[in-house]
Amino acid sequence: MSYDDGKRKTNKNMFDYLYYKLYQATLKGSLRDIPQFVTPVFLAGLVSVNLLVIDALLAKIDLMPFLFSNRMRAVALTIVLFVLAFVYFKGERSNRLLKKYAAESKSQRIRGNVIVSIYVAVSVLSIFAVGFFRPGKS
């Protein structure tokens, strides 16, 4: 992964790269005609799932109450994340990111694909892990 000036990766770079990889994956699927619309939806969906899973885990171990016991809160969070993703990745920023990461070498592309695949798999599997987690039971 090439970064602008060799500085440490930031969360912004992480989300930018995740956006790029999800965009590329969308181009290979049945939604290839509308990747600029679908990619922010996927990204916001992944982030909202991660936030809900973390909140559920913290509630199960009694560190905080479950904030999304009201379904509308979870829907509202997801909608806010969708809107933020669309606003952040609209137009020229999206084009810059696609150009920036298009120069990846084959080994960087493979490494990035593996990392993003693991992230998506862990995000989905964590739903079940937290769902079946019983604190205090061995």
DSSP for 28-84, written as a single string? TSTTTT-HHHHHHHHHHHHHHHHHHHHHHHHHHTTSS--TTSSHHHHHHHHHHHHHH
- Average pLDDT taken over every residue of the chain: 86
Give a yes or no: residue 103 inside a domain: yes
pLDDT band at 91 (very low <50, low <70, confident <90, very high): confident
Residue 23: predicted pLDDT: 93
CA 27 → CA 21, 23, 31, 59, 60, distances in Å? Answer: 10, 6, 7, 38, 39
Q: What is the pTM of this model?
A: 0.79
Give a yes or no: residue 2 inside a domain: no
Give a yes or no: residue 107 inside a domain: yes
Give a yes or no: residue 95 inside a domain: yes
Give a yes or no: residue 6 inside a domain: no
Q: Is residue 91 left, alpha or beta, with left meaning phi > 0 and alpha meaning psi from -120 to 50? A: left
> Under 8 Å CB-to-CB from 128, ≥6 apart: which residues?
none
> Under 8 Å CB-to-CB from 2, ≥6 apart: which residues?
100, 101, 103, 104, 108
Give a yes or no: residue 88 inside a domain: yes
Give a yes or no: residue 90 inside a domain: yes
* Residue range of the domain that includes 122: 11-132
Separation CA 28–CA 17 (nearest Å): 17
Residue 21: predicted pLDDT: 93
Give a yes or no: residue 5 inside a domain: no
- Domains in the chain, number: 1
